[in-house]
Amino acid sequence: MTKIIEYVRLYFRLVGAGVRAQMQYRFAFIMRIVGMVAAYTGTAVTMWIMLYQFKELGKWNFYELLFLFALAVLSWGFCIILFFHFRSLDTYIVNGTFDRFLVRPINPFFHFMAMKFDIGAAGQFIFSILVFIWVSNAIDIHWQFGKILFLLGAIIGGILVQGGLLVFISAIAFWTTKSERFYWVVMYPARNLTNYPLAIYPKFVQWVTAFVVPFGFVNYFPAAVILDKDTPYFSSYIGYFTPLVGIVFFVIAYYVWMLGLSRYKSAGS
Amino acid sequence: MAIIEVEHLNKEFKIAKRETGFVGALKSVVNRQFVTKEAVKDISFSIEKGEMVGYIGPNGAGKSTTIKMLTGILVPSNGSIIVNGIVPYEKRKENAKNIGVVFGQRTQLWWDLPTIESFELLKEIYRVPDARYKENMNTFSDILGLGEFLNTPVRQLSLGQRMRADIAASLLHDPEILFLDEPTIGLDVVAKEKMREFIQEINKLRDVTVILTTHDMEDIEKLCKRMILIDHGQKVYDGDIAAVKSRFGKMRTLIVDVEENGVDLHVSNGELMKEEGNRKWIRFNRDDFSASDVISQITQTHNITDLTVEEPEIESIISRIYQEGFTKEEVPVKV
Amino acid sequence: MDTVKMYTAFTKKAFMRSAAYRFDVWTRLVSNIIFLLMWMSIWFALYAGKEEASGISLTAMLTYVVVSQFLTAVNGAGTPLWELQEKVRTGDIALELMRPFDVPLRYLFADFGSVAFYMLTALVPLYVLLFFFVDLSLPTSWMTWILFIISGFLGFLIRYCIELTFGLFTFWLIETGGIEDIFYFSVSLLSGSVIPLWFFPGWLQTFATYLPFQGIYFIPNAIFIEEISGKDVFISIGIQFFWVAVSYTILRFVWRKASNKVIVQGG
C-alpha cells in the first residue's frame, strides 16, 4: 500500500517537472491550445454543414452527433496528457535515450509514462465542456446523478481504452521500431472513424470496433445510452460495460508492453 | 569476495538477414532468415571493490553489450554475472540502487529544467535521505563547481558543465559501482583534467568501484591501473597497464641533440629514424640493448648536449593490438 | 534544356528514394483506405436510402468520394510540410539557398517523383480494383478522363503553392501549430474534399467559389462525375489556371521575402 502512495507521490513530482518544462515555451503552449480548439471546431463545422441539408446521419441529428464527438474528444484529451508520448517510443529507443529508464530503481513503464504530461491538451477540455453545455441545452438532456456517474465511468473507460491502444502501439517499438508510423497510419484514421455513429459502418467494422479494438466503448456505446439511441446489432446496455472494458483492455496492453520490454532486454535493438 | 564477478559471459543476437531487391523483400516477409551474431564470447573477469578498471576495445568489440548486461539492461544468453551480490538482470531495481551510470553523449538530466531540479527529482527517485542529499550536493558543488550553473536549464549548459552535472547526478545516491561510458568525450583539455581529478577523488574518498569505457587513452593512462581489452567479443588482455607496456612496448626512442652536425651517426644497436639538424631520433629494442648502450655508442663519435628516452604510448600499443589482433608472439611496436 | 534536366533529376531521385522506402510509402495506403471507408459510409448513411439529393445521385456522390480520396492521397504523397519547417528551424535551409537551383521548384519536381511512385505502385492499382468491385459512375468519354487529369494536376499545383506559402510563415512565426490547424481545416472544408460545394448553405457556397481551394478538389471531382459538363468544364479549368497563376505569384513573393530574411539574418 505504501508502495502505491510512494508511486503516486513520485508521479506527481515527475509530472510536475514535465509541466514546468512545457511552460518554458509559453507561446507554443498557447498556440497548441488554440490549434486544438480550432481543429475540433472545424470538425464540428463540417458536421453542421453535412447535416444542413441531410438533417440526420444514421438517425443521429446534429446535436447528438456533436455530443458523440465531444465525448470522444474529452477522453482523448486525458489520453494525450497521460499517454500520447508512448507512440514515440521508437524514437527514444533509436536515440538510445530509453535505456536511461532501465537504469533507475523504478518500474520503467511508470517512469516512461511520468516523463511527459502534455498539459497543452487542455484545449480539448475547453472544447468538450462547452459542447456538452450547449448540446445539453439544445436537446434537453437531464443530468441526474445517475447519468453523471455513468458519464464519468464512460470517460474513464474511454481513457483506458484509448490509452491502452497507445500502449499497444508503443509496444510495437520493442519489436520493429516503427511505432510512431503505426499510430498515424492506423490509430489516427480509426479515431476519425469513431467520431461518427458506428451504426453507419459495415457489420464487420462495427464488430471490430466493439470486440477487437474497443473504440466503440469510448463514445458510441455510452452516448447511445445517455441519448437513448438505438444500437443495432448490439444490446442497448452495452454502454454500461465501458469502464470494465477499459480496465481489461488497459491491463492487457500493460502486460504486452512489459512483454515487449523483456524481449528488448534479451534481444537488444 | 569480488564486487563484480563475471563468468563465461555470452551474448548472441539474432539479426534478420536483409534481402535486396523486390523479390528478396517479398521472400523476407514470408520466410525470415536470421543470422546469429556473437557479440560477447565467453568473457570472464572479476573486479574487487575500489578498483578502477578501463574496459576498452575497438568499436563493435562488445564493450557496450557487456556494460548493458552488467547494468541489467540486457539479459545474457549464457554465463553468470553477479554485481554486489545480486544478478543484475534478475533484480534490476535492486541493482539500480547500487550503480551509477554516465552515458557520455546522452544526458540523464531533464533537458528543459534548471539543473538543480534534476537533482531534486533524482533524490526522489532514488529515495536519498535529506541529510545525505545536502551533504552530497555540497561536496559535488565544491569539487565540480556546480554552484555557478545549478539554476541554468540543462539545455543551456556547455558540454563541460553538463558532463559535470551528469557525473554528480550519477553519484547522488551513493552507489558502490560507477559505470562511465566515454565520460570525457568532446571535452576540452582543462575540462578533461577536472573530470579525471573528480573520478580519482571519488574513488579514493568513497571507495567507489569505477568501470570506464573510453577511446581516450589518456583517460586510461591517468585513471586506471588495470585494463581489460576486448576485441570481437573476446577478452584479449586483462591486467596492469604497466604490464601491457612492458609486454608489448619494448621499443624505445632515444632523442639526442648532438654538437656535430653533418657527421654521420652510425648506431649498430639501434635504428636512426629521423634527423632534424642536430636532433636525431634513434629507435632501439630495450630487450636487446639498454639506453646507456646506445648512448655510449653515440658518444664515441659525437658529443651529446641533450637527450630524452621516450616510451611508447599506450595508444599506439593498443592500436597495434586492434589492428593485428592478439597473437601469442610478441609484436614489435612501431614508435 | 540543362535546367530541365536538373529539375527532372530531382524527380528521378525522389522516385528512387520512394522506392527504397517503399514499405513506408505503402503503409500510407492503409490510412487512405480507412478514410475512404469512413466517407463512403457517411454519405451512404446521409442519403438514407434516397436515390438522389439536390440532383446528385447516390452513385455519383459515392464516386465523388472515391475520386476525392484518390486526389487526397496524391496530394499527400509529396514532401511533408514539417520537413521544410524543420529545416527552417534548424537553419539547414541556408544550405539549400546556397545551391544553384530554385528551392520551391526543386521541391515541386521532387514531389512529382514521390507522387509518381506512390501512384504507379499503390494508388492506381488499388483504385482500379475499387472501380471493378464498387458500383461507381465512371466517365464514359475519354475526353472527360483527359480533362479530369488536367484538372487534377492543376489542383495539385494550386495546393502546392498555397501550402508552401503557408509553410513559409515559419520563417517569421517559429510556432505555427494553432494557425496550421485552422488553415488545414479551412482548406479541407472549402476545397470540397469531403463535402461537395452543392451541399453547402447558400452563403457559404458563394463564399467558397471565390476562393482558390475549390480548385484543388471540388472542380476535378465534379468534372469526373460529370456534374460540370460542356463548356462549364473549360470555364472551371480556366478558373483553375487563374488560381495557379495567382498562388504561384504569391508564393514567389513570399519566398523572396523569406530567403532574404535568411540571407540577411542567417536563419
In this prediction, residue B330 has a pLDDT band, given cuts at 50, 70 and 90, of very low
How confident is the model over C114-165, as pLDDT tens digits? 999 999 988 998 999 888 888 788 888 889 999 999 999 999 999 999 998 8
Assigned C-alpha cell, B136: 552530497
- Distance CA(A186)–CA(A191), nearest Å, equals 9
User: Has residue C242 got a pLDDT over 90?
Assistant: yes
More confident position, A269 or A53: A53
Q: By the CB < 8 Å criterion, does B13 face chain A?
A: yes
User: Has residue B326 got a pLDDT over 80?
Assistant: no
Given C30, C53, C204, which is nearest A185 (Cβ)?
C30
- Distance CA(B172)–CA(B149), nearest Å, equals 17
Question: Chain C residues within 8 A (CB-CB) of chain A?
Answer: 24, 27-28, 30-31, 34-35, 37-38, 41-42, 44-48, 53-54, 174-182, 184-186, 188-189, 194-195, 199-201, 204
User: Has residue A170 got a pLDDT over 70?
Assistant: yes
Per-residue CA distances from C49 to A97, B229, C58, C199 (Å): 55, 78, 9, 17
For residue B80, the surrounding DSSP H or E stretch is: strand B78-83
Flag if B113 and A265 touch (Cβ within 8 Å).
no
Helix H segments across C121-230? Answer: 124-133, 142-167, 177-190, 202-209, 218-224
Chain B closest-CA separation from residue A248 CA (Å): 27
Q: What is the mean pLDDT of residues B157-184?
A: 90
User: Has residue B173 got a pLDDT over 60?
Assistant: yes
Domain range for C74 is 2-265
Share of chain A above pLDDT 70, in %: 99
Q: What is the mean pLDDT of residues C50-56?
A: 82
Classify residue B156 by its DSSP letter.
Answer: G
- The pLDDT score that the predictor gives to residue A116 is 86
How confident is the model over A179-192, as pLDDT tens digits? 888 888 888 888 89
Q: Which of B101, B48, B41, B46 is nearest to B76 (CA)?
A: B41
- The pLDDT score that the predictor gives to residue C146 is 92
- The pLDDT score that the predictor gives to residue B27 is 61
Q: Which residues of A touch C27 (CB under 8 A)?
A: 181, 185
Q: Which of A95, A115, C82, A91 is nearest to B111 (CA)?
A: A115
- The pLDDT score that the predictor gives to residue B184 is 83
Q: By the CB < 8 Å criterion, does A14 face chain B?
A: yes
Flag if C181 and A30 touch (Cβ within 8 Å).
no
Angle of CA points B92, B59, B103, to nearest 5°? 40
Q: By the CB < 8 Å criterion, does A204 face chain C?
A: no
Q: What's the mean per-residue pLDDT of chain B?
A: 82
The number of folded domains in chain C is: 1
- Distance CA(B191)–CA(B175), nearest Å, equals 24
Chain B closest-CA separation from residue A225 CA (Å): 44
- The pLDDT score that the predictor gives to residue C1 is 66
- The pLDDT score that the predictor gives to residue B329 is 39
Angle between the N-to-C axes of helices C142-167 and C177-190, in degrees from 0 to 180, rounded to the nearest 10: 160
Instruction: Find, in chain B, the residue whose alpha carbon is nearest to that of A176.
Output: B16
- Distance CA(C147)–CA(C166), nearest Å, equals 28
Q: Which of B234, B256, B212 is nearest to B321 (CA)?
A: B234
Q: What is the mean pLDDT of residues B291-296?
A: 84
- Distance CA(B122)–CA(B138), nearest Å, equals 16
Flag if C38 and A193 touch (Cβ within 8 Å).
yes
* Three-state SS annotation for B8-65: EEEEEEEEECCCCHHHHHHHHHHCCCEEEEEEEEEEEEEECCCCEEEEECCCCCCHHH
Q: Which residues of A touch B113 (CB under 8 A)?
A: 17, 20-21
More confident position, C45 or C91: C45
- Distance CA(A160)–CA(A244), nearest Å, equals 10
More confident position, A239 or B172: B172
How much is the ipTM here? Answer: 0.87
Are B167 and B192 a contacting pair, CB within 8 Å? no
- The pLDDT score that the predictor gives to residue B30 is 62
Angle of CA points B25, B31, B35, to nearest 5°? 90
| Sequence-ordered list of residues with C-beta below 8 angstroms from that of C133, at least 6 positions apart, any chain | none
Per-residue CA distances from C165 to B156, C81, C90 (Å): 33, 10, 19
Q: What's the mean per-residue pLDDT of chain A?
A: 87
Are B73 and B96 a contacting pair, CB within 8 Å? no
Q: What is the mean pLDDT of residues C18-27?
A: 82
For A68-82, B13-27, C173-187, which range has the lowest pLDDT when averaged over its residues?
B13-27
Instruction: Find, in chain B, the residue whose alpha carbon is nearest to that of A103.
Output: B96
Are B284 and B294 a contacting pair, CB within 8 Å? yes
Chain B closest-CA separation from residue A21 CA (Å): 5
Q: Which residues of A touch C30 (CB under 8 A)?
A: 185-186, 189
What is the pTM for the complete model shown? 0.81
User: Has residue B331 got a pLDDT over 50?
Assistant: no
- Distance CA(A170)–CA(A85), nearest Å, equals 9
Q: Which residues of B touch A106 (CB under 8 A)?
A: 93, 125
How confident is the model over B296-310, as pLDDT tens digits? 888 888 888 888 888
Share of chain B above pLDDT 90, in %: 18
By CB atoms closer than 10 A (0-12, 13-18, 19+), residue C47 is middle
How confident is the model over B191-233, as pLDDT tens digits? 888 888 899 988 998 899 999 998 777 888 888 888 888 888 8
- The pLDDT score that the predictor gives to residue C174 is 64
Flag if A20 and B93 touch (Cβ within 8 Å).
no
The set of chains that have 3 or more CB pairs under 8 A with A is: B, C
In this prediction, residue C100 has a pLDDT band, given cuts at 50, 70 and 90, of confident
In this prediction, residue C264 has a pLDDT band, given cuts at 50, 70 and 90, of low
Flag if C178 and A52 touch (Cβ within 8 Å).
no
User: Has residue C77 got a pLDDT over 60?
Assistant: yes
Q: Which residues of B touch A107 (CB under 8 A)?
A: 93
How confident is the model over A215-224, as pLDDT tens digits? 889 999 999 8
Q: Which residues of C touch A46 (CB under 8 A)?
A: 185, 189, 194-195
The HSE-up count of residue B296 (CA atoms within 13 Å, CB side) is: 5
Angle of CA points C84, C85, C91, to nearest 5°? 90
Q: Which of B312, B235, B252, B262 is nearest to B287 (CA)?
A: B252
In this prediction, residue B32 has a pLDDT band, given cuts at 50, 70 and 90, of low
Are C30 and A185 a contacting pair, CB within 8 Å? yes
* Residue given cell 487512405 in the structure block: C32
In this prediction, residue A230 has a pLDDT band, given cuts at 50, 70 and 90, of confident
How many C-beta atoms lie closer than 10 Å to residue A3's C-beta? 7
Flag if A57 and C46 touch (Cβ within 8 Å).
yes
Q: What's the mean per-residue pLDDT of chain C?
A: 87
Q: Which of C44, C178, C68, C137 is nearest to A50 (CA)?
A: C44
How confident is the model over B110-147, as pLDDT tens digits? 888 889 989 998 998 898 999 999 999 998 888 888 88
Q: What is the mean pLDDT of residues B269-274?
A: 78
Q: What is the mean pLDDT of residues A24-32?
A: 80
Kindly report the backbone phi and psi dihedral angles of residue B290, in degrees, each rounded to the nearest multiple of 5, phi listed first.
-95, 165
- The pLDDT score that the predictor gives to residue B332 is 37
The set of chains that have 3 or more CB pairs under 8 A with C is: A
Q: What is the mean pLDDT of residues A65-86?
A: 90
- Distance CA(C102)–CA(C98), nearest Å, equals 10
How many C-beta atoms lie closer than 10 Å to residue C168's C-beta? 22
Can you say whether residue B321 is alpha, beta or left, with left for phi > 0 and alpha for psi between -120 and 50 degrees?
Answer: alpha
How far the first Cα of chain A sits from its last, in Å, is: 35
User: Has residue C68 got a pLDDT over 90?
Assistant: yes
Q: Which residues of A touch B13 (CB under 8 A)?
A: 267-268
Q: By the CB < 8 Å criterion, does A20 face chain B?
A: yes
For A93-107, B201-215, B272-286, C213-227, which range has the lowest pLDDT when averaged over its residues?
B272-286
- The pLDDT score that the predictor gives to residue B22 is 55
- The pLDDT score that the predictor gives to residue C184 is 84
| Sequence-ordered list of residues with C-beta below 8 angstroms from that of A68, at least 6 positions apart, any chain | A60, A195, A196, A197, A219, A220, A223
Chain A closest-CA separation from residue B181 CA (Å): 13
Are B63 and B55 a contacting pair, CB within 8 Å? yes
How many C-beta atoms lie closer than 10 Å to residue A81's C-beta? 21
Strand B304-310: give its sheet, edge to edge. Answer: B271-276, B279-285, B251-258, B304-310
Instruction: Find, in chain A, the residue whose alpha carbon is nearest to that of C31.
Output: A185
Residue B264 identity: D
- Distance CA(B218)–CA(B196), nearest Å, equals 10
How confident is the model over A118-161, as pLDDT tens digits? 887 877 888 888 888 888 888 888 888 888 899 999 999 999 99
Are B67 and B194 a contacting pair, CB within 8 Å? no
Q: What is the mean pLDDT of residues C50-57?
A: 82
- Distance CA(C148)–CA(C242), nearest Å, equals 17
Q: Which residues of B touch A267 (CB under 8 A)?
A: 13-14
Q: What is the mean pLDDT of residues C234-246?
A: 93
The HSE-up count of residue B39 (CA atoms within 13 Å, CB side) is: 23
